Amino acid sequence: MKKPDQGQTWALIGYSALSAIMVIVSLFVFNGVVFLLDVAVYALAVLLILTLKMDLISIKFGVLNIPHFLLPCVLWYKSEAYYVVSGRLVIYTGILASIVVLMVFVTRFWKEIKLSRGLITLVIFGMMLLTATGSITLANALFDTSQKEVYSCRITDIAFMWGDDASVTIESFYGDERTFDLMVDETYAQGLSTGDTLDVTVGHGFLGLDYYTVD
């Protein structure tokens, strides 16, 4: 094996170990510092791809790719606890960021991609979208210094879904005709009824995006 290939392999082993550690830590302990470390580790992946031409998505490295793909999923999973009122703005921003990174990647590697270009493009876009939208949502909530407000909102509907989740619809805490859907644990939802109230905590967000959580 040539030295450059061997060097890439060891670099990827080190990066994958770092990613795996952050995935495990993030699942058990999550705060602003852990979030910043998660983002830094994933940013390192982008740096490795764009500057060192690390082939992080090839079949050659097989199972070593898994931690790299899990980290964006963890960020997205953790962001689900924070319901952003202007959710479309987050999604649009995430799409824009993902397209920009994707264009840089494709411009640099288009002639070198050995696998299906369509599949690789889809995977990269999906990972970047999870990272971007999750990061925006988490940064907005984790670094929020605004005064939180607690509202008792009436439940208007409860729908049990596949798996262990349930959708609970509550009246708007803004005093208008809007409603908001909350994803809660099925066991918890079974103790609720239409007409009951839920305490919803509302913050104005580090990025100015109102968000709400349910204790």
The pLDDT of residue 129: 87
Q: What is the pLDDT along the chain (215 residues), one digit of tens a residue?
A: 344 467 777 878 888 899 999 999 999 999 999 999 999 998 888 777 777 666 666 656 666 677 888 888 899 989 988 888 888 888 888 888 888 877 777 776 666 555 556 666 777 788 888 889 999 999 999 999 999 999 999 999 998 877 677 889 999 888 888 898 888 888 888 888 898 988 899 999 999 999 998 87
pLDDT of 43-102, one tens digit each?
888 777 777 666 666 656 666 677 888 888 899 989 988 888 888 888 888 888 888 877
- CA 52, 55, 61, 66 dihedral sign is positive
Q: Distance (Å, rounded) from C-alpha 130 to C-alpha 151? A: 30
The pLDDT of residue 12: 80
Q: Is 0.85 surpassed by the pTM of this model?
A: no
Which residues make Cβ contacts (< 8 Å) with residue 74, sequence separation at least 6? 22, 23, 26, 27, 38
Q: Distance (Å, rounded) from C-alpha 196 to C-alpha 202? A: 19
The pLDDT of residue 57: 61
Which residues make Cβ contacts (< 8 Å) with residue 112, sequence separation at least 6? none
Compute the mean pLDDT over every residue in the chain, rounded to the nearest whole number: 83
Q: Percent of the chain having pLDDT more than 70?
A: 84
